[in-house]
């Protein structure tokens, strides 16, 4: 069995935040979620997360893992070794244990799988994931023996001048055999200036017991990038965003300006869709084939069909079916369901409404809490008046209705199939099928009124 221990108990003081560090997001997901998802996609059977700081928030945010709470407060020794000790009861002699960190979201499943394979093939008791850094200042150096095995890890402050010239550093990520890890944990001590238990000491312990420790070096040192500040959070976001955009482009999506396109990790986009600059696509959004997402559009947790065109618009928690045209400057608020071949034009707002296929609201209208049928024309300036000051009410517009410009539909109200509503009407009662409804005062012209009142210039 292979399982992971993910260390996520730190306070993250450099983030200067009320939120635990591991819950800060990149590309729409908490740092910790990225690490957990990578472990799961690597086939890890069980993931144990060590939590401490604001553990209640972490528990309420992260799902499908085993939480173990680390003691916090004055007198607690802390340290990475102490954190791993909290999961000792889960470690079985014949297991393989991967040590990961909740603030290193850029690690990939390919690297994890390669590390585990290297560990198993080499019959090592422990394997350290390492990388070369041009400037390794501050990192623990990997000391190898003549056979290439890891002999020890020397912290920068303790390293000699010769050792400080070593470019290979310790990532802090390890793969252990369960029996050997328990053996090392039992021998850890906190006889150091910080009075903490360090998992790095386990490497020396195993070497002292003449047990083999391997070192698996990766080429891309970005993967072990840890996040301790808002600046590093932004740097990690940039790396992750580039990976996501490259993934979509490799799968047939055209992204005009990848450096100016922001796509979250859980977004799905089908081939031959074109994404223009400034687009933000968030959450669990899905976009079909042959669609065009125009510049500066924002789409959140929505389902977009095939051959849809969206221009400079915002779509939140909604559905847009095939061949629809949205925008420019349209606003689809949550629970909008836009049917096939529908036109939602410039400065049209839709909220909690279903609009049937081949209908159109071309400009300057508000559609709220409504069911609109097929083939409906909603004229410019139409307002679905859904709120009476206390409650929201529903408007029903049946198929093939024509609504003239500057109409108010005061809900609850129903307009039946094939009806026409004259421009400028305020509709407060049912409009029967195939009828014309006119709800406005008769025009009165008073000739000579301007001059009589003395208003003539």
Beta bridge partners of 66: 48
Question: How many whole angstroms separate alpha carbon 173 and alpha carbon 112?
Answer: 9
Longest dimension (CA), the chain: 112
How many other CB atoms sit within 10 Å of the CB of residue 396?
A: 16
Nearest to 374 by CA among 426, 321, 333, 436: 321
Catalytic (active site) residue 393 = no
The 3-state secondary structure of 402-424 reads: EECCCCEEECCEEECCCCEECCC
Annotated catalytic residues are 363
């Amino acid at each position: 069995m292979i399982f992971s221990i993910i260390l996520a108990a730190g306070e993250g003081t450099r983030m200067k935040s009320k939120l635990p560090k591991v819950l800060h997001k990149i590309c729409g997901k908490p740092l910790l979620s990225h690490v957990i998802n990578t472990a799961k996609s690597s086939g890890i059977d069980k993931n144990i997360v060590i939590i401490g700081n604001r553990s209640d928030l972490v528990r309420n945010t992260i799902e499908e893992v085993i939480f173990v709470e680390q003691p916090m407060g004055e007198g607690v020794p802390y340290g990475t070794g102490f954190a791993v000790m909290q999961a000792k009861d889960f470690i079985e002699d014949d297991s393989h244990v991967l040590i990961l960190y909740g603030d290193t979201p850029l690690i990939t499943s390919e690297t994890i799988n390669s590390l585990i394979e290297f560990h198993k093939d080499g019959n090592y008791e422990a394997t350290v994931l390492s990388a070369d850094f041009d400037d390794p200042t501050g990192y623990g150096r990997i000391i190898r023996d003549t056979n290439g095995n890891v002999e020890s890890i020397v912290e920068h402050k303790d390293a000699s001048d010769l050792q400080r010239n070593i470019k290979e550093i310790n990532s802090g990520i390890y793969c252990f055999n369960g029996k050997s890890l328990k053996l090392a944990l039992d021998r850890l001590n906190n006889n150091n200036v910080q009075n903490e238990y360090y998992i790095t000491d386990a490497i020396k312990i195993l070497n002292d017991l003449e047990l083999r420790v391997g070192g698996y070096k990766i080429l891309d040192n970005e993967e072990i990038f840890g996040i301790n500040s808002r600046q590093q959070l932004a740097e990690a976001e940039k790396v992750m965003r580039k990976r996501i955009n490259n993934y979509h482009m490799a799968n047939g999506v055209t992204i005009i300006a990848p450096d100016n396109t922001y796509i979250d990790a859980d977004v799905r986009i089908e081939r031959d869709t074109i994404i223009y600059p400034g687009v933000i696509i968030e959450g669990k959004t899905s976009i079909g084939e042959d669609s065009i997402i125009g510049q500066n559009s924002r789409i959140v947790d929505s389902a977009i069909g095939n051959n849809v065109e969206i221009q400079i618009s915002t779509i939140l928690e909604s559905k847009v079916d095939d061949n629809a045209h949205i925008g420019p400057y349209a606003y689809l608020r949550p629970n909008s369901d836009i049917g096939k071949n529908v036109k939602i034009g410039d400065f049209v707002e839709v909220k909690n409404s279903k609009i049937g296929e081949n209908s159109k609201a071309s400009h300057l209208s508000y559609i709220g809490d409504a069911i609109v049928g097929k083939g409906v024309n909603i004229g410019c300036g139409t307002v679905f008046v859904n709120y009476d000051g206390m409650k929201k009410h529903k408007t029903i517009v049946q198929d093939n209705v024509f609504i003239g410009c500057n109409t108010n539909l005061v809900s609850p109200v129903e307009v039946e199939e094939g009806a026409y509503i004259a421009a400028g009407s305020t509709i407060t009662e049912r409009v029967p099928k195939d009828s014309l409804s006119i709800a406005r005062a008769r025009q009165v012209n008073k000739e000579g009124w301007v001059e009589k009142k003395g208003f003539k210039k």
